Structure 1
Amino acid sequence: MLRKKGHSAKPANFAITAAALQDHILRDLQIRNPSRAPPPSKTKVPKTEARAKSPQRNRKPGVDTGPKKPTRGPGLEDAEKEYVLDPHPPPLTLAQKLGLFDPPPRPLSSAEWERVKQRSVLQGDSLQPCPICKEEFELRPQVLLSCSHVFHRACLQAFEKFTNKKTCPLCRKNQYQTRVIHDGARLFRTQCATRIQASWRGHVVRTWYRDLRRRVPPTDAKLRRKFFEEKALHRETRECSICLTPLSLSVRGGDDGHPAHPSRETVLLSCSHVFHHTCLLALEEFSVGDSPLHACPLCRSCYQKKRLGC
């Protein structure tokens, strides 16, 4: 009898172990039995249609309490709040209770999550693209795994659905824990603000430089001469400031075809003022002093002159 009892208990233990292993493998691979899913009910559609056709049925009278206060949406702090997606570990399987497999790790504490996040920051995972889709994180939801790797939340969910198991795509760690973080979004906002500031500062500096080039003459001789010529042309001086007659560069003919008022040669000074050449020579001869340098009649600065021709 004892032999028979021992012989019957041994196959029973094997059967329990086999059933426990099978249940654990099914749960580990996350295989769901489609036959357990409840069939879709066909009676819901006519019920909703009947309710839609008679909206006045079963309506209770209400009391008007005035305009309702608008509900405030989630603030920036709530939108950037970090939280754990799976705060409670999955229940133990029969194989784990029997000691055939190790139980799932306990949930990480706040201090442990902080150390995991610091490790991820030191690795610069949020600065790099998502390892699954190879795109920047930008403002899309981001998750941190307990193995310190960072992914898009949608990419990780698609990877889990495709592989049909919960394994890190990089280090192949099983039964990891996930936490929603917003480091990539903060870095993306900082980069956008930096680009906007750089564009605005570049615009300000370019505007200041163009204004500076319009006001301050360059040190190079050729550029300086060109600068004052352009400045004199933009000034649109029409008469000589010495003789108060027009600065004509063309010859006006009379009624008989002969020139009545021949054009007079003009001269451009380095201070951008224009005079008749003969008037400027007369002023230089009339000026008192032994200095070879002469002063402009208008701005009183020493000048160099250039003839503009007839």
Structure 2
Amino acid sequence: MLKNKDRSSKKSNLAVSAVALQDHILRDLQLGHLSVADPCKTKVQKKENKSKSLRRDSAAMVDTGLRKTAEGPKGEDPEKEYVLDPTPPPLTLAQKLGLLALPPLPLSSDEWEKVKQRSLLQGDSMQPCPICKEEFELQPQVLLSCSHVFHRACLQAFEKFTNRKTCPLCRKNQYQTRVIHDGARLFRVKCATRIQAYWRGYIVRKWYRNLRKMIPPTDAKLRRKFFEEKAAHHEIYECSICLTPLFFHCDGRQAAAGTSSQHPRETVLLSCAHLFHNACLLALEEFSLGDNAPFHVCPLCRSCYQKKIVEY
């Protein structure tokens, strides 16, 4: 009799252990929605329970014509970090019987700070998401207790696809998740740096173009071209000494303004970008030879010049 009792007790213990392990496996694989009962009956029961709850919650409403003002959302800090699963899952029967180890306790704020520092040292927020291989930018971002970082939507899709809660990189089971904003912060800094770089480049290019318009180059050919363009922009049409029209326009064509084009007068271009008749300038140089010899100054801007005969 005692032997039969011992055998029956052992069989019952084995049955209880098997049921406990089976329950733990179902919960671990997030298959708790499965039921041994007929699924059609369970659906009917759920519908009946919903209809009963709606009937209980329903109450007579009197329309007074006054609409209540909808309360807006409370002002919360968008940069606030929070834990998505602060409470641990309930213990399974196998864990209560001591067949399996207990789940880890929720991490404290100091432990989360250490996990975040480890993630920052690894540079996970600067790298693309390991699941979708795209930048984090301003999308919601989650940090796992194993210090790996993912898009929140990508991690939810991965959990739904695999039907279990394991890290996609290190395969850690029953991890804890925390919402962070490091990727969004880095993306804002990157965008601000890019905008500043474009603006500074625009300012420097604009300053350099203005500088090239003001300071003549050292190369002889470029210097000659610089002064010719400068004189063309001035649009000088007459000699400032004799006050007669010049026969050289800014576009290089001869003018027929009152005189014959068969005997054009030579036009000289000064380094200060002023145009004169060559004969008028020579006469002025001979007239003022004793004043500033051996240097001559422009009769308009009073600066020392170099001259070049303009060819048409």
TM-score tier, shorter chain, comes to 0.7 to 0.9
Specify whether residues 190 and 72 from structure 1 end up closer, same or farther in structure 2 by C-alpha distance, changes over 3 A only: farther
Secondary structure (helix, strand or coil) at the match of 1:148 reads coil
| TM-score scaled by length of structure 1 | 0.86
C-alpha separation in 2, matches of 1:157 and 1:259: 90
| 1:275 alignment counterpart | 276
Aligned partner of 2:209 in structure 1 is 210
In structure 1, the partner of 2:5 is 5
Are 1:84 and 1:180, in contact at CA under 8 Å, matched by a contact in 2?
Answer: yes
Structure 1 residues 43-122: aligned runs within 5 Å:
58-62=60-64, 68=69, 71=71, 73=73, 75=75, 78-122=77-121
For 1:300, the equivalent position in structure 2 comes to 302
What CA distance in whole angstroms lies between the structure 2 residues aligned with 1:30 and 1:193? 43
Q: Residue 251 of structure 2 corresponds to which residue in structure 1?
A: none
Aligned to 2:263: 262
Q: How does 1:232-271 map to 2 (within 5 A)?
A: 232-249=231-248, 250=254, 252=256, 259=260, 262-271=263-272
AA aligned to 2:149 is: V
| Aligned residue number for residue 287 of structure 2 | 286
SS of the residue aligned with 2:88? coil
SS at match of 2:169: coil
Contact 1:251 1:262 in 2 (8 A): no
Superposed displacement of residue 299, structure 1: 1.5
Instruction: Answer with 168-177 or 23-32: which moved more.
Output: 23-32
Contact 1:251 1:259 in 2 (8 A): no
Query: Which letter maps to 2:143?
Result: L
* Residue segments in structure 1 that go unaligned for 5+ positions in a row: 49-56
> What is the distance in 2 between the residues matched to 1:295 and 1:122?
69
Structure 1 equivalent of residue 19 of structure 2: 19
Paired amino acid for 2:43: P
Report whether the alignment pairs 1:126 with 2:125: yes
Q: Equivalents in 1 of 2:49, 2:3: separation in Å?
A: 59
Q: CA deviation at 1:220?
A: 2.3
Superposed CA offset, 1:130-163 (max 9, x none): 0000000011110000000000011111111111
Kept in 1, the 8 Å contact 2:81–2:180? The answer is yes
After superposition, the Cα gap between the structure-2 partners of 1:198 and 1:4, relative to the gap in structure 1 and judged at 3 Å, is: same
Could you say which residue in structure 2 is the equivalent of 1:194?
193
**1:271–1:251 distance in 2 versus 1, CA, 3 Å:** closer
Q: Number of paired residues?
A: 294
Q: Deviations over 1:69-110 (max 9, x none)?
A: x855555x5222111010011111111111111111000000
How big is each residue's C-alpha offset from its partner over 1:45-74, in whole Å with a ceiling of 9 and x where there is no partner? 9xx9xxxxxxxx954254859x95x85555
Structure-2 residue corresponding to 1:52: none
- Matches of 1:203 and 1:214 in 2, distance apart? 17
Residue aligning to 1:38: 43
Deviation at 1:251, TM superposition (A): 7.0
- Output one character per residue of 1:12-59: Cα deviation in whole Å (capped at 9) or x when no partner: 1111111111111111111131638534749999xx9xxxxxxxx954
Query: Structure 2: which amino acid aligns with 1:306?
Result: K
**Aligned equivalents of 2:287 and 2:268: distance in 1?**
18
Gaps of 5+ in 2: 249-253
Report the TM-score, using the length of structure 2 for normalisation: 0.85
C-alpha RMSD of the superposition: 2.8
SS at the partner of 2:146? coil
Query: 1:173-212 CA distances to partner (integer Å, 9 max, x unpaired)?
Result: 1110000111111111111111111112211221222122
For 1:16, give the aligned amino acid. Answer: V
Seen in structure 2, the aligned counterparts of structure 1 residues 37 and 163 have a Cα distance that, compared at 3 Å, is farther
The farther-off stretch of 139-148 and 222-231 is 222-231
